[in-house]
Amino acid sequence: MTQYAILIYPGAGPATAEDLAEHDQHAADLIASGALVAAFALTPPEVATTVRDGVVSDGPFAETKEVIAGLGIIEAPDLDAALAIAARNPATWQGGAVEVRPVVGGWVRGDVGAASGQAPGVPAADGA
């Protein structure tokens, strides 16, 4: 199975309790199906702090037109299956969008290989 990052972009305006309930149900469905590896909801962009070229500023990256409300990692047999999962995300009918990208490497604290400094799935600097 391939892992895919699911980047969730919210619609305009604040989410209602009903909107959030739809997201909670979607997450529960993905957990039950075994497709969801990890998921994270993010605070509003007004809470963000950006570091660029050594300068720290309040708010999201200045040139950003859209902000990410949350992200998840799913497992799917192929891109078509990942897109089918993404299409069921409530953001797609609540005025937002969902971006899907294959994951090419990663690391999670506690992974085997962390003690050696080599993140699993991430090629070593020397190509090994």
Domains and CATH numbers, the chain: 2-102 (3.30.70.1060)
Give 49-58 pLDDT, tens digit per residue. 888 888 888 8
* Number of other CB atoms surrounding residue 50 within 10 Å: 14
Q: CA–CA distance from 124 to each of 3, 113, 119 (Å)?
A: 20, 12, 8
What's the whole-number average pLDDT of the chain? 85
**pTM, entire model:** 0.79
Instruction: Classify each residue of 28-40 as buried b or exposed e, where b means 16 or more C-beta atoms within 10 Å of its C-beta.
Output: eebeeeebbbebe
pLDDT at 38 over 90: yes
**Which phi and psi (to 5°) does residue 103 adopt?**
-90, 130
Query: Taking residues 82-105, what's their average pLDDT?
Result: 96
pLDDT one-digit tens code per residue, 60-83: 766 656 789 999 999 999 999 999
